[in-house]
Amino acid sequence: MIEKKLDALMLLESQFLEGGALGGLDPRTASNDPNVREELRAAARERYRKRFANWADISRAKLIELYGQEVGSKVKYAELFEVCEYGRGSSASKQSLSAEEIRFLFPFITKK
């Protein structure tokens, strides 16, 4: 599954390969050399693979809470989301999502 996610990110070259989403520009991104472009793609894929693995590790307790010990402890990659305060009302802006809201937004989560 992570490969599909990385494939999708690599299609957005201006953001994930050429520096747009990274806040910087590697001078090699101007190259039309296919070998250089493939080298940049491989480096970006590895960067994002490590990021998603790190997110799974730092979110392990939540993954176990949501999926149960057996499944949650085996998750290798995760993507984190932040609740946007807009549309939730000012009193709810800094609150975490309730279990019901999480299940509504992420219906694929099934605790086993």
State the burial class of residue 94 (Cβ atoms within 10 Å of its Cβ: 0-12, 13-18, 19+): exposed
pLDDT at residue 83, rounded to an integer = 79
pLDDT of residue 25: 65
Tokens, residue 70: 């057996």
The pLDDT of residue 69 is 94
Those residues with Cβ within 8 angstroms of residue 57's Cβ, 6 or more apart along the chain or in another chain:
none
Output the pLDDT for position 63: 93
How far apart, in whole angstroms, are the C-alpha atoms of residue 110 and residue 41?
Answer: 34
**1 vs 63: CA distance, rounded Å:** 17
Mean pLDDT for each 10-residue chunk of the chain (112 residues)?
A: 92 75 65 84 92 97 93 95 70 69 84 63
